[in-house]
């Protein structure tokens, strides 16, 4: 049987590319925009599936792929995909939000604790020798007694809520629609901020959520409020955040994502009230491996292809895991 033709538009682990090639006829999208357009004009009519990561998929891109049936994305966020144009063409979209939800929600709670208990600065306090000289460290805030607002109660937001309930936090949420959950719902994010001590952002980036957290929302949180962002950087108006911190209108923030990452404003990097991480919410060996597996599984399942994991592929994944363990980190780009 002829293998379906798919377009590889993603930087993925090498073993993933090998497994895709074992199951499909794979066309690699050139990285340079002009070359990519010429390539699609020549080959696009044959493409039935896409392995995606960060490549922008808009209506013009889709016009060059008239036979496209499915997009399998390595990412949870789909802000690089024109969802309306894709759905209008009846194209199926698969992403990995169900796979990375656990580790991203763990990261969100970890950031919230680091922020409210000031763990980063407390670590520096001990290492610099100040403890014997200055005595007891300043008190933090208890997340167990906090009113926490979750902005976006999807798969990740729900996983965060599950964890925070175990801590004893009082929860509420904002989103475009009410969910069947026993939790107060707000249809206005500013009102939610006004009634909470902390906002945790988990919503997707879209036109509706770009700069959703602006100066008015930050002011509603107030000088004792905290902000945690593990969604996408542009959900927060970064300049409004910088201005609020400069005038002490916010207690602090924990940010895993930034508006123009990997570039972070100096004002944020210098501010000790912030906890900053380099977009590592899903950054564990286990989750990144499962995300890559899902790219292949979604395509294979859609086309009815039985996937047999090859020994070479399993060996490559094992080698990658051991290498990451030895080096204490992987070279995997952030999601």
Q: Point out the residues that are catalytic.
A: 232, 261, 279
Handedness of CA 79, 84, 89, 90 (dihedral sign): positive
Residue corresponding to tokens 């167990």: 144
Nearest alpha carbon to residue 104 among 320, 263, 287? 287
Is residue 72 within 8 Å of 30, Cβ to Cβ? Answer: no
Which tokens belong to 314?
Answer: 């399993």
Q: How would you classify the pairing of strands 25-28 and 5-9?
A: parallel
């Amino acid at each position: 049987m002829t293998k379906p033709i798919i377009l590889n538009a993603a930087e993925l682990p090498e073993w993933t590319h090998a497994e895709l090639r074992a199951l499909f006829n794979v066309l690699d999208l050139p990285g340079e925009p002009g070359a990519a357009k010429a390539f699609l004009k020549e080959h696009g009519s044959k493409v039935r599936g896409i392995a995606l990561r960060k490549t922008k998929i808009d209506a013009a891109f889709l016009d060059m792929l008239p036979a496209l049936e499915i997009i399998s994305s390595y990412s949870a966020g789909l802000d690089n995909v024109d969802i309306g144009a894709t759905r209008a063409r009846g194209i199926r979209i698969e992403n990995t939000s169900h796979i990375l939800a656990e580790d991203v929600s763990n990261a969100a709670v970890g950031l919230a604790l680091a922020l409210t208990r000031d763990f980063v600065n407390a670590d520096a306090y001990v290492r610099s020798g100040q403890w014997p000289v200055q005595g007891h460290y300043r008190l933090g805030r208890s997340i167990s007694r906090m009113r926490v607002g979750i902005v976006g109660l999807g798969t990740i937001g729900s996983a965060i809520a599950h964890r925070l309930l175990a801590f004893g936090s009082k929860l509420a949420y904002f989103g475009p629609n009410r969910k069947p959950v026993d939790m107060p719902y707000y249809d206005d994010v500013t009102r939610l901020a006004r009634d909470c001590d902390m906002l945790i952002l988990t919503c997707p980036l879209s036109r509706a959520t770009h700069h959703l957290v602006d100066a008015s929302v930050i002011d509603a949180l107030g000088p004792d409020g905290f902000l945690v962002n593990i969604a996408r950087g542009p959900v927060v108006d970064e300049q409004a955040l910088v201005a609020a911190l400069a005038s002490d209108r916010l207690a602090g923030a924990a940010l895993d994502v930034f508006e123009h990452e990997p570039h972070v404003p100096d004002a944020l990097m210098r501010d000790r009230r912030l906890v900053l991480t380099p977009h590592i919410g899903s950054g564990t060996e286990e989750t990144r491996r499962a995300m890559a597996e899902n790219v292949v599984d979604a395509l294979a399942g859609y086309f009815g292809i039985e996937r047999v994991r090859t020994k070479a592929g399993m060996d490559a994944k094992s080698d990658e895991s051991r290498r990451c363990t030895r080096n204490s980190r992987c070279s995997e780009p952030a999601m």
